[in-house]
Amino acid sequence: MLRALRFCIALCSAGVAFVCAAQSPAPKLPRPDHVVIVVEENRAYSRIIGNMAAPFINTLANRGALFTQSYGVAHPSQPNYLALFAGSTMGVVDNACPFTFKTENLASVLTRAGFTFATYSESMPAIGFAGCMQGDYQRKHNPMVNWQGHNVAASANLRFTDFPADYAKLPTVSLVMPDQSNDMHDGREPDTIIRGDRWLKKNLDAYIQWAEKNNSLLILTFDEDDGSEGNRIATIFAGPMVKQGAYARRIDHYSVLRTLTEMFGLPAIGRAAAAQPITDVWKSAPPAAR
């Protein structure tokens, strides 16, 4: 080991810096007991952060880690959800429905490693529903359905009414999708932002408070912007393992996915393999769960 270290130092002195980088251990990430990811819709960063129409989100941003250079990867909505879930837009360039895929994804790698995953979609009419829409529910915002029946179980495709009141019963990782009346998709500003912000406070504030005492994490993000800021969106991490502050490093949906897979010791998925995990927003990482 000492000989290898001396060799590395000698090479670095000669300008071969990449060899030393390869010898350095990867930064350790925390392993939350539960992660809840909430995806909002179609609002640019500056339409949310600093906007009095979204007091709950801005309070959350002040309490947690706010990424000031977070970006969607495409337009319109659906490719962004696919990127966050499977590390790829899967060649999808619109909101068409249905699609069927069989590649690896966040749910498949989690469950294979012994963890659990579920989505909770507001206004979805039944568990395992595979239809394209029902009322304010839209399948384009529920990416796991495209893998359902292949490497994702229909029983993990849940309604938001199935979101447990006892948060200890949540799966390891959850995706929460408000419906189009509450995700800021429909309606004019500021009304749609006010409604979405109030929905978040009503439905997830209690989880956030619980997470602070139970080693759990909330990730709030948006699928895309409204076309006004180069796809710049608000992304916030909140939980007891998070260092409060504003972070200017550029991230996107692939960065978030890579961070999740690194947290649980899982293989990187798709284009997320080329993304860097988010390492600079954490307090000292607690021991990994046994």
How many Cα atoms within 13 Å fall on the side-chain side of residue 241? 25
pLDDT for 22 equals 37
Lookup: tokens for 66 = 């706010």
List domains and CATH numbers for the chain: 1-30 (no CATH), 31-274 (3.40.720.10)
Q: Do the bridges between strand 137-138 and strand 133-134 make them parallel or antiparallel, or are there none, so unpaired?
A: antiparallel
pLDDT for 136 equals 97
pLDDT for 284 equals 73
Per-residue pLDDT of the chain (290 residues; tens, 9 = 90+): 434 434 333 433 334 333 333 334 455 899 999 999 999 999 999 999 999 999 999 999 999 999 999 999 999 999 999 999 999 999 999 999 999 999 999 999 999 999 999 999 999 999 999 999 999 999 999 999 999 999 999 999 999 999 999 999 999 999 999 999 999 999 999 999 999 999 999 999 999 999 999 999 999 999 999 999 999 999 999 999 999 999 999 999 999 999 999 999 999 999 999 999 999 999 974 444 44
pLDDT for 229 equals 98
Full-model pTM: 0.90
pLDDT for 5 equals 37
Name the strands in the sheet holding 65-71, side by side, starting at the edge strand that comes first in the sequence. Answer: 157-159, 117-121, 173-177, 34-40, 216-222, 232-238, 65-71, 245-252
pLDDT for 14 equals 38
pLDDT for 27 equals 59
Q: Provide the 8-state DSSP code for 143.
A: G
- Alpha-carbon dihedral sign for residues 86, 151, 268, 57: positive
What residue has token string 């579920």? 118
The one-letter code for the residue type at 16 is V
Q: Do the bridges between strand 173-177 and strand 216-222 make them parallel or antiparallel, or are there none, so unpaired?
A: unpaired
